[in-house]
Amino acid sequence: MLEVDIITLFPGPVGAYLESSILGRSQAKGLTRLQAVDLLDYCGGNHHLADDKPCGGGAGMVLKPEPFFAAVKDLRGDETKVILTDPGGRVLDHALARELSLAEHLVFICGRYKGVDERVRTLADMELSLGDFVLSGGELVALVAVEAAVRLIPGVLSDAESALEDSFEGEGLLDCPWYTRPAEFLGMSVPEVLLSGDHEAVKRWRRERALERTRRLRPDLLEG
């Protein structure tokens, strides 16, 4: 079972997403335990302050180190991997998602505002990013990583082939185009081969279209 704890200032929306769709079903099947952990529960004191002004001055607020250290101490076990969401981290890709899917326990530290106190970085076993753009916080990074990992766990998806035929699986290509009924819509027709009943021809067509789409949109995936 994959266990995940996401430490956040916004446990409501994070928890709601963890209970929905594939992630919710994975928990119902007993294949995962996914939880949003409220950072404010670890702030202590009467005011439950999670952030403070940056030392040295400047705009914005910085998340304090004490609640993160307390939360990680409470959550960390022998097999825990702590992940800090950070723009400088390893960029999430399919290989990393598969690596995370094999973990026993993941704890995500989600920054907000100007980020976390630098000392929080010492808690992390790895840092994770979605790419070179700015988000208001790390919650979306954590949720994307969790969904990408969970859907690779055997038994989570209702149709096992759904994961096997996705983009980046197998040969690492983008997925081929997919169609459903009606066979014709607004003058656009489903390719005849997909209606032929010839399974080998369909298989060849799908691989050719996957190669063509990858060559056109992501030629870097074909290097080597």
pLDDT of residue 161: 47
pLDDT of residue 165: 61
The residue ranges of DSSP E strands in the chain, in sequence order, are 2-8, 32-38, 51-52, 62-63, 80-91, 105-109, 126-129, 184-185, 188-189
Looking at residues 169-187, what average pLDDT do you find? 90
Q: Which long-range contacts (CB under 8 A, 24 or more apart) does 164-171 make?
A: 167/94, 168/93, 168/94, 169/94
Q: Looking only at Cα atoms, what is the longest distance across the chain?
A: 70
Q: How confident is the model at residue 44 (pLDDT cuts 50, 70, 90)?
A: confident
Q: How confident is the model at residue 72 (pLDDT cuts 50, 70, 90)?
A: very high
3-state secondary structure of 25: helix
pTM score: 0.88
Q: How confident is the model at residue 48 (pLDDT cuts 50, 70, 90)?
A: confident
Nearest-angstrom CA–CA distance, 181 and 153 = 30
What letter represents residue 166's amino acid? D
**pLDDT tens digits for range 151-164:** 999 999 987 546 65
Please give the domain boundaries of the chain with CATH numbers for all domains. Answer: 2-150 (3.40.1280.10), 165-222 (1.10.1270.20)
The residues facing 107 across adjacent strands are 5, 82
Looking at residues 72-94, what average pLDDT do you find? 97
pLDDT of residue 167: 60
